[in-house]
Structure 1
Amino acid sequence: MPFRPQKTSPNPNPSPAPSPNKRRTTSWSDLWVKSPKSLNQVLFTMQLQSLPKDPKSQTLAPNFSNVDRTLLLPDDTLLRILSKLPDSQRLSNSLVCKRWLSLQGRLFSSLKVLDWGFIESGRLIERFPNLTHVDLSRACIISPQNSSILLHHGNISMHLSTGFSPICRILDENLLSVDVVDRGLRLLAGGCPNLCKLVVIGASEMGLMSVAEECLTLQELELHRCNDNVLRGIAGCRNLQILKLVGCVEGLYSELVSDIGLTILAQGCKRLVRLELSGCEGSFDGIKAIGQCCQMLEELTLCDHRMDGGWLAGLSYCENLKTLKLQACRAIDSNPGPDEYLGSCPALESLHLEKCQLRDKQSVRAMFLVCQAVKDVVIQDCWGLEDEIFSLAIFCRRVRFVSLEGCSLLTTQGLESVVISWKELQSLRVMSCKSIKDSEISPDLATLFSVLKDLKWRPDTKSLLAASLAGTGMGRKGGRFFKRT
């Protein structure tokens, strides 16, 4: 049967063929699928279309005050913009919206935590994911909020209750338990693997081991209330370069750091560059172990040390030591031993003495013998530094810079007897030394002043030397002029 095409009724309203030059209206689905814009950009476009229109011009009203234009910016771009703003605006920027609050948290790399609950709740890691420097010292202390008594010691500040006994160790009674501190350290180490600096009070070996395992980039550690057992955990920090240990602080807490802990530390942290021991015990063996193992050590600070006699001789094993600082030490070395056993530090450049007892002639003499290669000598507010004690500094023949401040027993004759012998002296600074008088300056001392590159002379408030030398050319050498104070 032959095929016959069927008749169809014509369409009374035929639709015109689409023109190739006419563009179809973009739908939201096309905008979402084809455009690489983020959801924030789409929402912003929706907000623009929902604005009220002007009935006369049928255009969008020019009121954009309620529109957040930052929705068009991706997080990375907005983060770079916020990072260019000054730090003083960070708090106000974080109050704009939740998004800005989250982005501002990424900009913080250093934080001092005041509430330990902020760590245990997980908000610290969520709010500040890029932390590299964390100070937990304030958070480790339980302080009554309604107390008006504030105790401040070094970096530690805490409020006290009104009923404490003066013979009690105050801080021991107001510290978090070791288990709580260790639990917080594990949370911190798990959330901040890029941690570089940490300050904590009362941690144990296990808590510090968790930090050492998770935070491989840890370079600086400040540990209060430390003892020999805790140092086993510190020894796992292979990349540690700066370390401060606080063992015993009278009236606050008492812990023991001895030669055992110092030996463990020396064998584990061989990349140390700066070491500070505060309230720590030890002897020749502990200092020797540090010098032999920590060959990169350049700066050693001893604060209120409780070292046994003979520890000074251990410094000779610190072959690369450049700076030695003694602070608030009641004695330098109670029994330094014979001179032939002391040795010296060949690379030492700076010796700093601050608030130390320098009444023992034998120990001061041994110290200057060990430090005979020093070039910079700074003595500030030290007790017992009279002319006879200061004359022992003549063993240091390479001194180029000397600073004396708060040395009330030192006289002009005692100063002159030493500084005249330093043939390489270039800079002299004398401040608040009331026994040194302008009227007692000898011609030899005045000649020395004329060839110095830098001279700061203000031994007392009545000194007129600085004003009288103005315009005379004294203190001028190599293009450097006398500095008026």
Structure 2
Amino acid sequence: MRGQDFINTIIPDELLIEIFRHLDGRKSHRDACSLVCKRWHRLESDTRDTIRIGASGSPDACTSVLVKRFVDLRNVFIDERLPVSLQFQTGFPLRSQRLRDYAGYRQFRSRIARRNVNKGPGSSKLRYTAENSGSESELELCSLSDAGLAALGRGCPKLEKLSLIWCSAVTSDGLNSIAGNCRHLKALDLQGCYVGDHGLAAIGQFCKNLEDLNLRFCEGVTDKGLIELAVGVGKSLKSIGVATCAKITDTSLEIIGSHCPNLESLSLDSEGIRDQGVVAIAQGCPSLKSLRLQCVNVTDNTLQAVGTYCSSLVLLALNSFQKFTDRSLFAIGSGCKKLNVLTLSDCYFLSDKSLAAIATGCRELTRLEVNGCHNIGTSGLEAIGRSCRGLSELVLMYCQRISDDALLEVGRGCSLLQALELVDCSSIGDAAICNIAQGCKNLKKLHVRRCYEIGDKGIIAIGENCKLLRDLSLRFCDRIGDDALIAIGRGCSLQLLNVSGCHQIGDIGVTAIAKGCPELVSLDISVCQTVGDMALAALGEGCPLLKEIVLSHCRKVTDIGLSHLVKRCSVLESCHMVYCPSITSAGVATVVSSCLNIKKVLVEKWKVSQRTRRRAAPVLADLCSEL
């Protein structure tokens, strides 16, 4: 009956709580439930165990409020790389501080490090540098401080996972608060935090259940802190990541090897690490399953030790090694029979013999990536195709010496292949793609970029044979035209399509996709200069689920095409249309006003009217002002 509250009358708290728990991972659903009534709001708050926080104007206050509302938190993720949108009391709006590349952020971090050193280990009074100004603002840096971290520790005694990404004002004092209050902590991510040894030592002293530790870009940590932590957590530590920590050397790794026998995952990116540290871990941690190395001073001796002692190794990633030779992978192939994932990036001295050794010894291999290893050619990949029948993902980047014959063997032997990515492989052409299409009918993902010998013939074969294909990217492939997309539209139901830079593709090809792929979610047709309004009208008719479209450099697209597109693509969230001379401010306004779910519009600043700017400022945060 209308006006009767049967749910709250009949269903007890315990049943409602159980329902809320089944919504874990679906924040929007839990948020909606919390708005039903006061009772649901209270119960949902009491049972939520995970929150994620981006940058905010008052991070300490925000954290304090959240921990008071959600009293049963076990997982807290704070990431200050996320955009901050502030309107300060001065009345001057500040746009998001975007740290777009690592070099820029390193400069920012260096300033923070110098200030922390000058002000002492407990100081967090850093200044915010306002955009478009050369001087420091009087406003404090919008970053979580030790005070906020202390409030988090007091409010979340059951905390198990804590992630502090680029929280630049946090120091060892804040970690001390977490260590003293959160004795059940299992995972700690301190990426980009300028914490010191004192804080790590406290974690090691009090958090005896710690399993996962990430110290990437923690420039203030030295061997002393890591040693004290390793000694403290002992047998519980299972995963550790270290990158750009110049003061961490082989000394601390040797201690980890002797005190952490259950270590399963190790990630190292350091110029200061040499053989003895990783060798000690290999000898002392026989349960090691995942090893990622980017250490230019490590030699064959390290991987020989891994092959000898780490028979449980499942994942191996080697990046930028110039002192490794085939001897290294001979040892891996001989000793690591369970290897599933292998990544070789810029390992210049590895040859086909290395891949042959892996093929012979590691027959359970499911994923292989070869990136910029210039001495690896066709025969090595042929060996993989003949021996590794379970291969499901293959990535070949900048492999100029690998020819069609290699993929012929992969097509014959690897029928379970689901993903293939080719980048700048100049010797691979249509014959290779046809072989893959005929032999790997389970293919779901195909990415090809700047492979100029691949044309319509190969992609037509994919459309005729690979009915499960959902993700297709053909970037800057000059020989691919409308015929290829017609075959794809007839044979596959794509969800993701990227044909950026394929200048032979026009309205006919895109229309075929629109008619044949009603589940299309993302489309990139940038730099396809013959695509026009007819294609956009077809997309509007045939692809109602489209959420993202990139139209940049499409000179024939006009406001009329945009109006047809957005008329039925009601869930569109992102639209990029830079360098489209026939699109005007009216077209931009049409997109913003017609798409209720729109979150991002990338366009020249001068094409946005004042009315549109007032109406949808957050959507237009990334305007290209210099164009």
- TM-score normalised to the size of structure 1? 0.64
- Partners of 1:394 and 1:256 in 2: CA distance: 43
Of 217, 223, 244, which residue of structure 1 is paired with 2:184?
Answer: 217
**Which stretch shifts more, 318-327 or 266-275?**
318-327
Task: Give 1:205 shift.
Answer: 3.2
1:374 is matched by which residue type in structure 2?
A: C
- Partners of 1:353 and 1:339 in 2: CA distance: 11
Contact residue 342 and residue 370 of structure 1 kept, 8 A: yes
1:150 is matched with 98
Of 228, 240, 257, which residue of structure 1 is paired with 2:221?
Answer: 257
Contact residue 146 and residue 170 of structure 2 kept, 8 A: yes
Task: Give 1:133 shift.
Answer: 0.2
SS of the residue aligned with 2:183? Answer: coil
1:162 is matched with 131
Change in CA separation of 1:453 and 1:299 when aligned onto 2, cut-off 3 Å: farther
1:72 is matched with 9
Change in CA separation of 1:411 and 1:440 when aligned onto 2, cut-off 3 Å: farther
Task: Give 1:295 shift.
Answer: 0.8
Of 20, 23, 42, which residue of structure 2 is paired with 1:102?
Answer: 42
Contact residue 300 and residue 325 of structure 1 kept, 8 A: yes
Task: Give 1:384 shift.
Answer: 4.5
- Partners of 1:99 and 1:135 in 2: CA distance: 27
- Partners of 1:364 and 1:160 in 2: CA distance: 50
2:203 is matched with 234
Contact residue 315 and residue 345 of structure 1 kept, 8 A: no
2:291 is matched with 325
- Partners of 1:244 and 1:293 in 2: CA distance: 18
Higher radius of gyration, 1 or 2: 1
Contact residue 348 and residue 373 of structure 1 kept, 8 A: no
- Partners of 2:283 and 2:15 in 1: CA distance: 53
Contact residue 187 and residue 213 of structure 2 kept, 8 A: yes
- Partners of 2:33 and 2:301 in 1: CA distance: 63
Change in CA separation of 1:261 and 1:117 when aligned onto 2, cut-off 3 Å: closer
Task: Give 1:113 shift.
Answer: 2.5
Change in CA separation of 1:346 and 1:383 when aligned onto 2, cut-off 3 Å: closer
Task: Give 1:101 shift.
Answer: 2.0
CA RMSD of aligned residues (A): 4.4
Contact residue 203 and residue 230 of structure 1 kept, 8 A: no
- Partners of 1:175 and 1:279 in 2: CA distance: 25
2:31 is matched with 91
Deviation track 1:87-110 (CA, whole Å, cap 9, x = no partner) reads 443223322333322222123111
- Partners of 1:218 and 1:338 in 2: CA distance: 32
* Superposition map of 1:267-306 within 5 A: 267-270=231-234, 271-281=236-246, 282-302=248-268, 304-306=269-271
1:125 and 2:67 correspond: yes
Deviation track 1:244-293 (CA, whole Å, cap 9, x = no partner) reads 11235xxxxxx143332332221011111122222234333222211110
* Superposition map of 1:396-475 within 5 A: 398-400=361-363, 401=365, 403-405=367-369, 407=371, 409=374, 412-415=377-380, 419=384, 425-428=388-391, 429-433=393-397, 434-435=399-400, 439-441=404-406, 446=409, 454=416, 460=428, 462=430, 463=432, 464-469=434-439
Contact residue 412 and residue 440 of structure 1 kept, 8 A: no
Change in CA separation of 1:98 and 1:398 when aligned onto 2, cut-off 3 Å: same
The structure in which a higher percent of residues are helix is 2
Equivalent pairs counted in the alignment come to 385
Identity %: 22
- Partners of 1:182 and 1:110 in 2: CA distance: 21
Change in CA separation of 1:260 and 1:121 when aligned onto 2, cut-off 3 Å: closer
Contact residue 243 and residue 275 of structure 1 kept, 8 A: yes
SS of the residue aligned with 1:257? Answer: coil
Change in CA separation of 1:384 and 1:99 when aligned onto 2, cut-off 3 Å: same
Contact residue 313 and residue 343 of structure 1 kept, 8 A: no
- Partners of 1:192 and 1:412 in 2: CA distance: 54
Contact residue 93 and residue 101 of structure 1 kept, 8 A: yes
SS of the residue aligned with 1:295? Answer: coil
Change in CA separation of 1:454 and 1:161 when aligned onto 2, cut-off 3 Å: same
Contact residue 144 and residue 160 of structure 1 kept, 8 A: no
Structure 1 gaps, min length 5: 1-63, 249-254, 472-481
2:213 is matched by which residue type in structure 1?
A: L
2:346 is matched with 383
- Partners of 1:336 and 1:175 in 2: CA distance: 46
Change in CA separation of 1:349 and 1:395 when aligned onto 2, cut-off 3 Å: same
2:196 is matched by which residue type in structure 1?
A: N
**Which stretch shifts more, 138-147 or 391-400?**
138-147
**Which stretch shifts more, 180-189 or 391-400?**
391-400
- Partners of 2:182 and 2:18 in 1: CA distance: 26
- Partners of 2:262 and 2:198 in 1: CA distance: 24
Contact residue 415 and residue 439 of structure 2 kept, 8 A: no
Task: Give 1:192 shift.
Answer: 1.7
Contact residue 205 and residue 232 of structure 1 kept, 8 A: no
- Partners of 1:301 and 1:338 in 2: CA distance: 14
1:190 and 2:154 correspond: yes
- Partners of 2:305 and 2:5 in 1: CA distance: 75
Change in CA separation of 1:427 and 1:222 when aligned onto 2, cut-off 3 Å: same
SS of the residue aligned with 2:241? Answer: strand
Task: Give 1:243 shift.
Answer: 1.4
Q: Which has the higher contact order (CA 8 A, sep 6+)?
A: 1
- TM-score normalised to the size of structure 2? 0.51
Change in CA separation of 1:305 and 1:79 when aligned onto 2, cut-off 3 Å: same
Task: Give 1:162 shift.
Answer: 3.0
Contact residue 467 and residue 484 of structure 1 kept, 8 A: no
Task: Give 1:395 shift.
Answer: 6.1
